[in-house]
Amino acid sequence: MTVLGEAASAIKVIEFFRSLGVGFKGMPERVAQKPHYRLGDWPEIGRGVVGREDLNGLIADQLGNRGVVAIVKGTGGIGKTTLARHHVEKHGERYHGILWVQAETETSLVEDLTMLAAVVELRGLDLMEPKKRARALLDALERRGEDWLIVYDNVPNEKALTGWGVKGARVRLLITSRDTAWPQSYRPISPDVLPTEAPGDPGPVLLMAEAGRRDDLAGAQALAADLGGLPLALVAAGGLIRERGGSFGDYRERLAAVLVQEPSGDYPDGVIGAVKLSYDALEQDARAVLDIFAWYAPEGLEARLLTDVPHCSAPNPKEFWDETPHDVMELCKDPPRVEAALAVLVRRSLLSRQGASYALHRMSAAAVRALQVDAQHRDPSARAASAVLATSYPHVYTNTYSQCARLTPHVMALHRAWPLGEGDRVTSAAADYLFNQASIYLREMAEQDPALDLAEAGLALKRARLLESDREIAVGWSMLGKAYQAAGQLEEAVRAQAENVRLSREYDHGVAYLATAHNNHASALRMLGQARGDRALLEQARDADQAALELRRKAFGAGSEEVAASLTNLALLLHALGDIATARDFSLKAMAIQRKVLPAGDTRLGTSLTNAGGLHVVLGGAETALPLLKEALDLFRTAYGRDDHPSVRRTAGWLVSCHLVLARRAPVHSAKARRIAEEFGLDWDERQNVAAQYPGPVVAADGPPGAGS
């Protein structure tokens, strides 16, 4: 599952389709026999599994008789995922349900655990923060007293599973991991390479099966030995022989030449050799697709990652077409060619099908990238992958969140694999754009740690390719400052935004940009001042906000969205300084401007609506506040598609307070307030205590409603 931050909506959709008995990814698939539930993206085996019968039995014994955890560990290409998948296929009848979790990152692990909402009845799920939701579902599953198997596939290391274990004996965990340092307390199972000493051993048997040949047993045995008995290498070699013909001996000769020319480095010789030979034998289209997919996430690979490029709806896609090789762009314009290339890669066993999408083995992807080591090839491949993705990745607006959700896992994979150049990162305007836009999206979705990582990467790329005087360097500091601020690293945020102001002044980036720099610096100062209770910092923030407002009035006019943003920030600042009445007036002015100039559903209007509504409550105007807060709540819920987003919960808190104030004159509002508090998981006693102070001084429990831009 690749959608970041849409779990709340997914839960509601799941419940609806569940009532209809419909099955799809993440949905319970009812069958006549156990397992009753098959959740997650189960990898397709697509072939027989040989030479693992003893290990499969060991896994079954370990899970069935001795404990709740079994771990399969080993180097890439050894067949860990295939072995786990084979266990599920052979012993699935033991379990009431099975969930396959992509556990390479915590984000994907949390999202896939959320699929348990299709099975577990648990109130308030869509109000929880994603990690708490996933943990609550796992705990609830254990309480059901049913036999379940959860496969955590590709766990980086033992530390990555902290907090994701199980306690009871009815829910069992099967873990695969490339890390070989798991402690013996996990009773790890380590698959070895397939034996190749004799023609009837599993290694040559698998090779012959993949090649579709039963002749030349001795040649198959010798080639399997040369490939080191690695299942991934044997499958790739067999796929090439099946497609292109030739003898096992011919392949051995070519493999020997490759291994002399291509140092394997961190990759097994058999894998690097098999992938190299398969790669070299690809037609141009298939090679171009593989070159690009090697930089993306290993799952969720789709034809439209390429075919969307010439027709994408991004505001300025042609900005990155210059970084896309001409032959790649021509391929993207021809969907049948793309589909044909994907079919070739599947036949050659370089890609595998996963439902409607494709998967590329992580070791195969790493090998393809490793083969692109020369300066004439590596840079263009990484650049082409980033350019293709950047052309489709939209500027982050409310109505593009679903597209961002689909593409962001590929941006994050590109970031992890991004190559190093001579003493610095390989430069790319497209990768720079991707890292910054995905950082904004993740920040909007309250995924602060990866948002900060990408903001740092974006600034590093800017500094590698641009002079300090370029305005984009200042922009990078600003984006980094916002990511720091969202992550709660407020001192770092102030420093980053101060650098943004310095650069915009020193290199004269223009009145409009300087105003924005002041605005963002003020926001960071305000947050730090509030955290420290430091009025001096708040007054510095006020001065910076007022400077931004004056510059924007001159540059854009009093009725511009830029002025509205400054009014919003000033309202928040005056709120913090205790000037509530003026803060309310500024919020109302900002809201009036934004209603005229912003597109429907823009979250910036939601911020102003919440600000104005909350300040009306504080000043005794709850009746005026009520429709503003309702409108803001509906806007945020629609925009973010999740009820655990901070903006949604903050607005819901103000709405509860508003109803409680109104309940003093009309008791019916008390029931409405209680319903909203329960719906959003808000502490009822706390909300009553907060509301009891209105009208009066603003209390910290509601906090500043948000921030302008």
DSSP secondary structure letters along 492-551: HHHHHHHHHHHHHHHTT--HHHHHHHHHHHHHHHHHHHHHHT-HHHHHHHHHHHHHHHHH
Bridge partners (DSSP) of residue 587 are none
Residue 189 β-bridge partners: 72
Report how far apart, in Å, the C-alpha atoms of 128 and of each of 114, 350, 703 are.
Answer: 11, 40, 19
Q: Mark which of 430, 465, 500 sits at the end of a domain.
A: 465
67 and 153 assigned to the same domain: yes
Same domain, 130 and 164: yes
Residues 6+ positions from 618 with CB-CB distance below 8 Å: 580, 584, 694, 695, 696, 697, 698
Question: What CATH number is given to the structural domain containing 121?
Answer: 3.40.50.300
Q: Name the residue range of residue 383's domain.
A: 284-465
Do 99 and 153 sit in the same domain of this protein? yes
Please report whether residue 354 resides in a domain. Answer: yes
Check if the beta carbon of residue 30 is closer than 8 Å to that of residue 63. no
Helices 378-392, 284-293: inter-axial angle, 10-degree rounding: 80
Same domain, 368 and 337: yes
Residue 427 within a domain: yes
Mean pLDDT per 10-residue segment, the chain (709 residues): 35 38 39 63 65 68 65 64 80 86 84 86 71 87 86 86 81 83 73 78 85 85 84 84 85 79 62 85 93 91 91 66 84 95 91 85 83 59 89 82 88 85 65 93 86 94 92 96 94 97 96 94 94 95 94 93 91 89 89 90 89 88 92 91 84 94 92 92 90 62 43
Please check whether residue 313 lies inside any domain of the structure.
Answer: yes
pTM of the predicted structure, to 2 decimals: 0.74
Residue 318 and residue 436 share a domain: yes
CB atoms within 10 A of CB 246: 13
Q: Residue 75: its pLDDT value, please?
A: 61
**Residue 415, token pair as written in the block:** 């970031």
Residue 506: predicted pLDDT? 96
Q: Which of 265, 280, 295 is the last residue of a domain?
A: 280
Answer yes or no: do 297 and 214 share one domain.
Answer: no
Residue 290 falls inside a structural domain: yes
Instruction: Match 């962001």 to its residue by tokens.
Output: 408
Q: Identify the pLDDT of residue 618.
A: 87
User: Are residues 314 and 380 both part of a single domain?
Assistant: yes
**Chain centroid to CA 636:** 21
The set of residues, in sequence order, having a beta carbon less than 8 Å from that of 182 and lying 6+ positions away, is 71, 73, 157, 158, 188
Interior angle at CA 687, CA 681 and CA 690, nearest 5: 150
Q: How many domains does the chain have?
A: 3
In a domain, 26, yes or no: yes
Residues 104 and 211 in one domain: no
288 shares its domain with 250: no
Residues 6+ apart with CB under 8 A from 257: none
293 and 162 belong to one structural domain: no
Q: What are phi and psi of 38, to 5 degrees?
A: -125, 105
For residue 137, being part of any structural domain is answered with yes
Task: Go through 185-207 and write b for each residue having 16 or more CB atoms within 10 A of its CB, e for each that does not.
Answer: ebebbebebbbbeebebbbbbbb
Domain shared by 145 and 21, yes or no: yes
The reply to whether 320 and 432 lie within a common domain is yes
384, 391, 411, 498, 593 from 315: Cα distances, Å: 20, 9, 19, 30, 24
Domain stop point among 130, 152, 186: 186
pLDDT at 118 (0 to 100) = 84
Residue 594 within any structural domain of the chain: no
678 located within any domain: no
